[in-house]
Amino acid sequence: MASSHRSSPVPRPGGGGRDGIYRKERDSSSPRSRPPVRSLPDVCPKEPTGEGRGLCDGPSVVAEHDRWTVYSSKVNLPAALNDPRLAKRESDFFTKTWGLDFAETEVMPSFYLPNISREDFGPYLQEMAQRERIHERCKMICPNKDDVDAVSSITSNHEKSRAELEQVPKIFMKPNFALEDPATFNTVLPWSHFNSAGGKSSRDVASSKLLQEKLSHYLDVVEVSIARQISLRSEAFFHAMSSQHELQDQLQETQRAVAILRGRTAAMDRVMCQGPLRALRTALARNNCVKLHNKLKLMAAVHQTQPTVQLLLSTSEFVGALELIATTKEVLQQELQGIHSFRHLGSQLCELEKLIDKMMVEDFSMYARSDLNRSLKDEPQVLEKERLESLVFGLLRQRKLDFLDIYSDEMILAAKAIVTQCVLHIEEIDTEVMRIMTFPQWFEVLKNVFESFLFFLQRIKATLSVIRNVVLEVLDSNQKNRLLEESGSAVSGQEASQTSLVLQGEAELAYLTHEGLFISDALNEAQQQQAAARDQSSTVGSRIQQGRAEGAGSDVASGSTETFTSRDQNFMCGENMMPTELEMNRVINNTQELLHTASDVSHDRCVKVLTARAKDGSLERLSSAEFVCLSQAVEGFARDTEELCGRHSVSLRGALQSQANRFVHRFHEERKTKLSLLLDNERWKQAEVPAEFQDLVNSIADGRITLPERKTPGPDDRKPTEFLLINGQKYAVVGTVLLLIRIFLEYCQCVNDIPSIATDMLTRLSDLLKHFNSRSCQLVLGAGALQVVGLKTITTKNLALASRCLQLVVHYIPIIRSHFETKLQPKQFSVLRHFDHITKDYNDHIAEISAKLVAIMDSLFEKVLSKYEVKAPMPSACFRNVCKQMTKMHEAISELLPEEQTQMLFLRINASFKLHLKRQLSRLGVINDGGPQHGLVVVDVAFYTGNVQALKSLERLDLNMAEIWEQKR
């Protein structure tokens, strides 16, 4: 080894120095003093600290578990330096300690230290450059004495040894020097000088001695050179020798320590490990026996699966049987997989499951048939509720989601049977039987049909409600499971940490034993950690289940929760076999659709009963009261079914509407024909008003747009009146108008009873009012009554009476309009425009009658005044005739028309009179000149004015006769 190598001191047991560092004692008898011997370099990365300890005590693994010493080293120096696997010798130590994958990485620079570059030393270098130059110059001028001596000594010795070694021939210095080579041997020992022809001479002897001395000299030179080199490196040599002795001593001490340690380890194994390990092996064997026993019990239970399933099927416990089959199949796949005795059980269970599917479908079909075809009255709404729930649970469990189709088919057949039972127990609805029935008989049958179908729908709704509750409970169970899974994932991190703690405790079992604890204490600690983890997880799960149970309690119908709780757990096990949430929601929607279908089927069967009666027009010939009763019954049934099923069925209402349209048509034609006959027989004379008609209009004034009940005649009945009093006004009417009021009240009453025909009835009533207006115009203004009734002439009284009747109808048109408006939908208000047109037609007709009265007097004035002459006697006969006709006109209309209309009419008549008189005076040349003719005309005009103003209600009439005079020329 080189003399420059240094090593750290090695701890010695005896304590040769103050710090426990062993130093080899110097031999005082030695002729030369040697430097202190240093040990070889150690492979340990770090020196132990503290006081030294003798090897006789031995290392304590328990006491110094976490303290590194030289005894902890696992790599010796040759192994560290002679690793043949890697080429880089400087990496051998690290790869030996930390593995072949060890690689030196660049150390990240500190963020708290600045980056130092050469520029940062620039000021210092500039400052020291001058001093460095002076120092170097001084060293060259005045070298160090010791250095000069040492250098000179070494140089002289080197030159001397070099000169001596140069005396040795170069052949001895060659690396391929070998005496066995003849050429080399002859060169070193030239035998040619010794072998002469004559033998040995003194010269040859002298040459051989000289050669021997020369070779001895060469040997001495080399030995001296070697001794000189050895003397120069003696310190390193003796240091290596002493290190080897120290290493031998340390190895012996280490061997003794290892022997002591092995003895203690064997004692520890005998005392602390063998007994507990025997107990652990016994516990493990016991656990294996328990597992075997449980496995045998499980096999015995699986062996009893088929008899148990048969027993459950005998009591219709389909859900329990299916759950048992599923559980058994799961056990066979997981717990008992590969057992030869159960190799056929899986296929047998699959066949048994298919059989249960068929049994459930057939049982559900039988249940639906028996439930729907039993008596509707005095029976519970739901038949065998527990059996139904079990069937629905089983069908859902097997994803047989088409069971509602079976119920739908049975429901349609049961609906047909209901009609058959109600209609004289015949197989089909016989049209002839329906026709020969009287209306009360047929109506009673119809009401029985309606009542039966209401019971039928109530029963279906109750059954579907049970099915819906079962589906909701299964859906809620699935949601519970999903929430539990989400909660489990939320606490999975916590459970994972607890599990890691448990596993860590098991992994550190040897460490705890190694530290001096007993194995039983370590096991107890690990079991406590496991129990704490289980308790916490179970607490979380119970809280989640409690919260879900409280949230789902309001969704389950009362009476069904008893069976749901026990089945909840079963369905949690078979969650994978249950329908998805989307499929469950579809089943819930199908239950509601099935209820709607039941409502539609009921209405369709009732329509057949209705149309069977209506084939020969029997419903069209019903009286208003009878049709109203029919309509009310149908509306009541439709309203009840709508409230019960939430379905607005239109088939029965449509059939009723069709019959209502026919009824309205017949109703309208009868009243229109009746009105036409009344008008054709009307003589247009004022009729007396019976008390019942006065009461009728009074009730209308009070807001009751209905027909009052007919009263039986009594002795104290009121006498008829001359006029009809409405809101303080007198109406002189004809008998036809009184009947017309009753007729349109019948229309209003019919709309009250049958609101669905409001639009059609309004159109027919408008047609009736138009017919009355046009026909009365033809008879009075058109003088049709002359031929129809045989009147001699149409008098002014007839005209005034017709006008007053029309005014009465106009008075009631807004009332009728308001009544119909309450019966119509907002989108149907457009049909109300018919009343506006009718009102305009009536007002035009009234104006035409007024114009007709004025025209009658106008023709009279033209005829009479054309013969007027201004001469005595005064008043003239012409004016007397005019005043007479005016008086007759007033007498004819004053009692019929109100005062305001009479005044307006006579104002128009007076204007016509002034026009004709002015024309006649202009023709006669009479002017306002105060002459005799003017005086005579003034007398006639005064006579006319006096006579007109003397009439009743015309006293304050301003005739203004001054406009008849031509101005004076």
Residue ranges matching CATH 1.10.357 in the chain? 676-708+720-864
Cβ atoms of 770 and 813 within 8 Å: the answer is no
Cis peptide leading into residue 59 (ω within 30°): no
Determine the topology of domain 676-708+720-864 in CATH. Answer: Tetracycline Repressor; domain 2 (1.10.357)
Q: How far apart are CA 429 and CA 615, in angstroms?
A: 13
User: For residue 145, what pLDDT is reported?
Assistant: 53
CA torsion through residues 360, 366, 372, 376, sign: negative
Q: Is 103 left (phi over 0), alpha (psi -120 to 50) or beta?
A: beta
C-beta separation of 902 from 893 below 8 A: yes
Fold of 867-968: Monooxygenase (1.20.1280)
Place of tokens 């057939």: 362
What is the spatial distance between Cα 42 and Cα 205, in angstroms, rounded to a whole number? Answer: 61
Determine contact, residues 889/909, Cβ cutoff 8 Å. yes
Tell me the CB-side half-sphere exposure of residue 202, using CA atoms within 13 A: 0
Measuring CA to CA, which residue among 638, 630, 637, 636 is closest to residue 660?
630
Q: Any idea what the Cα angle at residue 383 is, between residues 382 and 385, rounded to 5°?
A: 75
> What whole-number distance in Å separates Cα of residue 656 and Cα of residue 429?
18
Q: Say if CB 852 and CB 826 are below 8 A apart.
A: no
Give the span between the Cα atoms of 606 and 636, in whole angstroms.
13
Per-residue model confidence (pLDDT) at position 75 = 56
Q: Look up residue 907 and give its two tokens.
A: 């104002």
* Cβ proximity of 736 and 639 under 8 Å: no
For the stretch 27-57, what's the b/e string if a residue is b when 16 or more beta carbons lie within 10 angstroms of its beta carbon? eeeeeeeeeebbbbeebbeeebeeebbebee
Query: 408 CB contacts (<8 Å, ≥6 apart)?
Result: 594, 597
To which H or E segment does residue 729 belong?
Answer: strand 729-731
Per-residue confidence (pLDDT) for residue 69, from 0 to 100: 63
Entry field: residues in the chain: 969
CA–CA distance, 863 with 858 (Å, rounded to integer): 9
The phi and psi torsions of 731 (rounded to 5 degrees) equal -120, 120
CB 355 within 8 A of CB 426: no
| CA dihedral sign of residues 53, 58, 63, 69 | positive
Alpha-helix runs per DSSP H in 25-119: 77-81, 92-98
**Dist. CA 796–CA 804, nearest whole Å:** 12
Query: For 139-160, what is each residue's pLDDT tens digit?
Result: 777 655 555 555 566 566 667 7
Identify the pLDDT of residue 60: 47
Q: Please say whether the beta carbons of 785 and 684 come within 8 A.
A: yes
726 with 797: CB under 8 angstroms? no
Nearest residue to 907 (alpha-carbon basis) of 877, 879, 949: 949
Which tokens sit at 941? Answer: 């005009």
Q: How many helices (H) and strands (E) does the chain have?
A: 31, 2
CA distance 468 to 592: 9
Torsion of CA 426, 431, 433, 437, to 10 degrees: 130
Residue 1's CB is within 10 A of a number of other CB atoms, namely 13
How far apart, in Å, are the Cα atoms of 836 and each of 284, 294, 345, 672, 822?
Answer: 105, 96, 88, 21, 17
Q: Contact, 685 vs 805, CB < 8 A?
A: no
Which are the contacts of 480, defined by CB distance < 8 A and separation ≥ 6? 545, 548, 552, 568, 572
Distance CA 838, CA 845 (A): 10
The count of other CB atoms within 10 Å of the CB of residue 555 is 11
For residues 671 and 743, the answer to whether their CB atoms sit within 8 Å is yes
What lies within 8 Å, CB to CB, of 244 at 6+ separation is none
- Torsion, Cα 528 531 537 538, to 10 degrees, reads -150
**Cα 916 to Cα 854: distance, rounded to the nearest angstrom:** 13
Write down the pLDDT at residue 83.
53
What is the CB neighbour count within 10 angstroms for residue 403? Answer: 21
Angle formed by the axes of helices 519-552 and 439-490, nearest 10°: 150
Residues near 948 by Cβ (< 8 Å), separated by ≥ 6?
883, 886, 906, 910, 954, 957, 959
Instruction: Return the half-sphere exposure (C-beta side, CA atoms, 13 A cut-off) of residue 552.
Output: 25
The two most distant CA atoms of the chain are separated, in Å, by 235
Residue 769 burial (CB count, 10 A): 27
Residues of the chain with pLDDT under 70: 1-105, 107, 142-158, 191-202, 204, 378-380, 423-435, 488-578, 616, 710-717, 966-969
Give the model's pLDDT for residue 514.
Answer: 36
- What are the Cα distances from residue 553, in Å, to 468, 562, 589? 15, 12, 21
User: Residues of CATH 1.20.1280.130 domain(s) within the chain?
Assistant: 867-968
Phi and psi angles of residue 726, each rounded to the nearest 5 degrees, phi first:
-135, 115
Q: What distance in Å separates the CA atoms of residue 484 and residue 268, rounded to the nearest whole number?
A: 50
- Give Cα separations from 600 to 415, 446, 593, 645 (angstroms): 11, 17, 10, 10
